[in-house]
């Protein structure tokens, strides 16, 4: 390298101009890019609209890179989902097509089916609210991966939780339990769903199985939230029984759980699954405190 001090005037002038142009144009690119982004909407969504074609045709066109492309679309689907959730979007019109594309490209991309089953079916704003699309995706997955019983579990789950079609759910669990390697509790589930569909205990059992299976973090977090809600709902029901009992004995509503402790119904202030104490509302019923992180709507 030449020492920078030994360049002639002409050379210096050119270097200076080049640096100036470089810096000025780079600085100008910034606001311009922002303006383009604003006008186009957020960048990738424009791209996403291009991708609603048929994955099968795409697969023939992508020269053997279908696996990679499937992964890209799967990533896109997750990103799209995350962004829609952040924006509290009411609809996620592209989630289904994206998952379909990813699974068309790679029919063995199991995570896409399982993820799709949960979040396509879930009501907005937690999911896309398209249980029928979820069923379709799962059926496609079952055809492509006949030996994988977990997809039957998911199918049954969508029937149970989102469509409240307990006979169909039971049939799905039963079909899954007959697959090689299926867990024994699938049979129990089939029976329980048939007999006591709609009860918290059955629902909690279903969510627990999803929570226990290692896989997508998003799915597990969602399962944990649902479980907490279900548990809180059960606990609230039990607390209301105690409050009712207190009222019958004492002839008045308790103003707090402390009163129930004094009366010997409770040993300590009860806490919900997120650790916040339960409170007694103005109507005299047990309720979640404001600090609670549990979302009761998740328990239906």
Question: Rule CB under 8 A: which residues touch another protein?
Answer: 1-3, 6-8, 10-11, 14-15, 18-19, 21-22, 25-26, 28-30, 32-33, 35-36, 39-40, 42-44, 46-47, 49-50, 75-76, 79, 82-83
Paired with 149 in beta bridges are: none
In the complex with another protein, the residue whose CB is nearer, 104 or 162, is: 104
C-alpha span between 1 and 56 (Å, rounded): 56
Q: Strand (E) positions, the chain? A: 278-280, 286-288
In the complex with another protein, the residue whose CB is nearer, 73 or 246, is: 73
Whole-angstrom CA distances from 127 to 85, 100, 110 are: 8, 16, 19
In the complex with another protein, the residue whose CB is nearer, 85 or 300, is: 85
In the complex with another protein, the residue whose CB is nearer, 19 or 238, is: 19
In angstroms, give the least distance from the CB of 2 to another protein: 3
C-alpha span between 196 and 156 (Å, rounded): 15
Cis peptide before 138 (omega within 30 of 0): no
In the complex with another protein, the residue whose CB is nearer, 10 or 268, is: 10
In angstroms, give the least distance from the CB of 21 to another protein: 4
In angstroms, give the least distance from the CB of 130 to another protein: 24
CA 267 to chain centre: 37
In the complex with another protein, the residue whose CB is nearer, 63 or 184, is: 63
In the complex with another protein, the residue whose CB is nearer, 83 or 123, is: 83
CA angle at 145 for the pair 139 and 147, rounded to the nearest 5°: 110
C-alpha span between 201 and 173 (Å, rounded): 17
In angstroms, give the least distance from the CB of 25 to another protein: 4
Q: In the structure encoding, which two tokens stand for residue 120, read together?
A: 């396509």
In angstroms, give the least distance from the CB of 6 to another protein: 7
C-alpha span between 244 and 250 (Å, rounded): 10
In angstroms, give the least distance from the CB of 86 to another protein: 9
In angstroms, give the least distance from the CB of 173 to another protein: 35
What backbone torsions phi and psi does residue 278 show, to the nearest 5 degrees? -75, 155
Rounded to 10°, the helix 131-144/95-105 angle is 0
Q: 293-298 long-range contacts, Cβ below 8 Å, gap at least 24?
A: 294/225, 294/228, 294/229, 294/232, 295/225, 295/229, 296/229, 296/232, 296/233, 297/229, 298/126, 298/225, 298/226, 298/228, 298/229, 298/230
In angstroms, give the least distance from the CB of 50 to another protein: 4
């Amino acid at each position: 390298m030449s020492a920078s001090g030994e360049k002639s005037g002409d050379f210096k002038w050119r270097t200076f101009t080049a640096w100036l142009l470089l810096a000025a144009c780079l600085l100008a690119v910034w606001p311009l890019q922002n303006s383009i982004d604003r006008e186009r909407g957020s960048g990738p969504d424009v791209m996403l609209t291009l991708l609603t074609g048929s994955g099968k045709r795409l697969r023939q066109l992508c020269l053997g890179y279908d696996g990679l492309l499937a992964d890209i679309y799967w990533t896109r689907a997750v990103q799209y989902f995350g962004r829609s959730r952040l924006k509290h979007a009411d609809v996620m019109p592209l989630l289904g097509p994206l998952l379909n594309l990813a699974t068309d490209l790679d029919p063995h991309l199991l995570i896409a089916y399982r993820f799709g089953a949960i979040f396509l079916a879930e009501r907005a704003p937690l999911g896309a609210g398209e249980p029928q699309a979820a069923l379709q995706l799962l059926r496609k997955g079952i055809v492509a991966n006949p030996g994988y019983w977990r997809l039957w579990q998911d199918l049954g789950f969508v029937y149970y939780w989102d469509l409240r079609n307990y006979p169909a759910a039971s049939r799905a669990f039963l079909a899954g339990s007959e697959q090689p390697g299926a867990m024994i509790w699938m049979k129990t589930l089939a029976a329980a769903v048939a007999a006591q569909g709609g009860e918290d205990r059955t629902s909690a059992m279903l969510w627990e199985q999803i929570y226990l299976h290692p896989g997508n973090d998003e799915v597990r977090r969602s399962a944990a939230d649902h479980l907490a809600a279900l548990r809180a709902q059960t606990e609230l029901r039990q607390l209301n029984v105690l409050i009712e009992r207190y009222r019958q004995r004492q002839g008045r509503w308790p103003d707090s759980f402390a009163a129930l402790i004094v009366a010997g119904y409770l040993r300590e202030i009860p806490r919900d699954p997120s650790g916040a104490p339960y409170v007694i509302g103005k109507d005299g019923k047990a309720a979640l405190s404001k600090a609670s992180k549990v979302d009761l709507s998740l328990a239906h």
